[in-house]
Amino acid sequence: MRKHKILFSALALALLAALPNAASAAGIVANGAVKSFFCTTCHGADGNLTHLSVRLAGQHPASLMQTLNAFKTGQRQTHPMMSIISLGMNDQDRADLAAFYASQRPLGMEKASLFWRLGGMSALTAAVDDVIATSRADPRLAGRLSGACRDKLLDQLCQATGGPCTYTGRDMKSAHSGMNITEAEFGAVAENLIRTLDKFGVPAREKNELVGLVAPMKGDIVGH
């Protein structure tokens, strides 16, 4: 058994070491899928196997990366196999594996990122479209929100909630500079967002988490 374990780990380390490592620290789902080959036995092909281990599918990538790092540094020592496997991973491996598992639809919501708890990409898209439609019709905003930012907004929310997206737009401050958005206008959009979430039956926990992600952006959006 011990011998088998050591051989298996050596293979895992060799595989991880042999894979190409991109310079960027952003996780690449396709590379993560390849690197997850050795994880399949215990975690299932999509990270949904739970009778041998813990569900990885749909977890927030930051939380997956943090856990893998904790195994590597010895901060977490709950499973010798995970400790050994994590030794062979560099930052890029962790980011790729995290991106891959985060993108997999979880079959249970217990550790799922906000992205999946909200219902994944289709739910997020429907919510963003609804907020834009309500805001365009909102006299308090009088045509101030054109909807041109829809795709960028979607990308940003998808990434912030732990979904498989990478926001490539400008930072919030430069994106809104020269628009002179008022506090009242920001408040109106926020109110429309909450109304949409209520209309879609989003539970309080998820609603609070999402509002908690959007609210701190106010300083960068208002008054520039």
Binding residues for ligand HEC, rule: CB under 6 A, are 36, 38-39, 41-43, 52-54, 56, 64, 67-68, 78-79, 81-82, 85, 97, 111
- Which one, 117 or 176, has the nearer CB to ligand HEC? 117
Phi-psi region of 166 (alpha: psi -120 to 50; beta: other; left: phi over 0): beta
The pair of structure tokens assigned to 220 is 């960068």
- Which one, 76 or 152, has the nearer CB to ligand HEC? 76
Nearby residues of 153 by Cβ (< 8 Å), 6 or more positions away = 128
- Which one, 98 or 153, has the nearer CB to ligand HEC? 98
Q: Are 166 and 26 in contact (CB under 8 A)?
A: yes
- Long-range (24+ apart) CB contacts under 8 A made by 18-25 are 19/93, 21/90, 21/92, 21/93, 22/92, 24/92, 25/91, 25/92, 25/95
- Which one, 43 or 117, has the nearer CB to ligand HEC? 43
Nearest-approach distance from CB 106 to ligand HEC, in angstroms:
11
Nearest-approach distance from CB 52 to ligand HEC, in angstroms:
6
- In whole angstroms, give the CA distance from residue 138 to residue 144: 9
Nearest-approach distance from CB 49 to ligand HEC, in angstroms:
9
Nearest-approach distance from CB 103 to ligand HEC, in angstroms:
13
